[in-house]
Structure 1
Amino acid sequence: MRKAALSPDGRLVAMSARMTLLWDLQAGAEVTLGEARQLRAAVLVFDPTGQWLLCGSGWAMSLVDVATGQTRHAWFLPRQDEAKAAGFLADGALVYVLTQHGLLVWPLKALPEAAKKGEKVTPIATLRAPAKGEWRAVSAADDGTMLVTDMGYPDGSATLWNPHSGEVRFTQKLRGSLGGGAALSPDGKRAALLLDGALCFYDVGQELTLRHRAPLDLRRGDIATLAFDRTGQTVVWACDQEVKLWDAASGAVLASVPAKSRNHAPVATLCTLNPQLLLTVEPLALFELR
């Protein structure tokens, strides 16, 4: 299993291994996909309405209409950059893709319209990676503010960016090596980063202010992912051994669930249900957060 995503209503699971499948949990049956089924997607994400599924394989992106299973727009990323992450802003108006060299943003509405006309859609905003670095992870708040991390060498950095205005609020050097995980709370006031083998909790203002630092038992080669729940009060951390829930205010561990992986780390995907659900990959499992 390479990637998986849970629809906002908790009904559909998209998953990718040798091909991409869409599964209806209520009906217990596969939902027909068109040409997107042939993709070995490394990026899978639903939009906030559950109407669209964004698939990324290498530098090829596809926007799939979930109701019909048909691809409504397909395009290639510039410079043949591979998609590292992707998502939709909370209002569903913009879609973004993170590559090694840039964070690119498109208006969602324009993509299927361009496909009908055979036109190319250019990004309305792009945040270029530093000349001697590369983007590592991205997370977005409900107002569209985006936190993006640069792995850098020897130290990484974090940038807070508004794609609507193009304004960079700050770029802050972080003393240490950044892991692959980065999370911004829905209200944009808190952040969590993996830094030098520790989970670090920050307040977000004109800069990142460290509140708590929790060392992690990570082995070399382990991959870990981060996400906030919808309340912004809980951070979900997943690695190839377990899934942990942390209190974002105190940095205390709330719960720990074994999630043994045969290959790589579970990928935490939070949906907007109440109570919320957590989907992990390798193993493919659905948890209820209580």
Structure 2
Amino acid sequence: MMRNISFGGGAWSTLWWIPRGIIFGLLAFFIFGPLFNLVLWTVAEKWYFPHSLPLQYGFSYWEKVFAPRGGAIESLTNSLIVAVLTVVVSLLLAIPTGYALARLKLPFRSLILLAFLIPQAFPNLTVYVNIARIFYEIGLNGTVPGVVLVHVSHGLVYAVWIATAAFSAVDPELEQAARNIGAAPMRAFFDVTLPLAAPGLMASAIFVFLESLDEFTGSYFVGAPDVNMLPLLLYTAGSGGNYQIASITALLLLVPSLIFMMVVERFLKADVLSKVGH
């Protein structure tokens, strides 16, 4: 006589966690595995196939990277200067543009927003080759302003779209109330609308900063070899087989990205995201 075997709710819950645990474990491996490998390369003095771990650890490559002839300090300084200038120029253009797109009844508003995606619609290589030729003729090739202009052309996509969403999320009646009690239009904008839109604009600035910090193609064709930047140093080290130096440079790029992404999570709210493209 066979006995019916039944599993309680607790047993099924335990068994259900097994495939979920496997899935989460695989996701963690694919996400954090490359990062762990990157960190290992930054302290690996000797590491070669078929050994799965470094044979010798140390920080001699860190000394080479940050030595005066290593180029890391100059590249990091140039990257930060270009990124900050890119953010400033992008916001100076995006704030009035985003406000106009959010508040005014402009014809072809959707097409205007779509136009800012044009730099992303074509292969970067062909665009930057022609930009480099034009900049060379007018004296901008190999200069910081030239690199900033190239980065701004890509950063405006994030700046304008998020600025438009940030201003759209602000209730226009608040600005109108300030106008009704005697505030001038500019005063109402700077005292009411701009502070309320500041979290979205901060997120916009962070996205532009990260885009500029990681931009390689434009920096290579317009800036190299006169304007050394971290992505160029990373490319040179990686193509030359200097994996330790390439990993250290990649880690220098990764740290500000992680910091700023945490700031994005704090400032960019769901009500702002819901307005993007509207």
TM-score in terms of structure 2 length? 0.22
Structure with more relative contact order (C-alpha pairs < 8 Å, separation 6 or more): 2
Higher strand share: 1
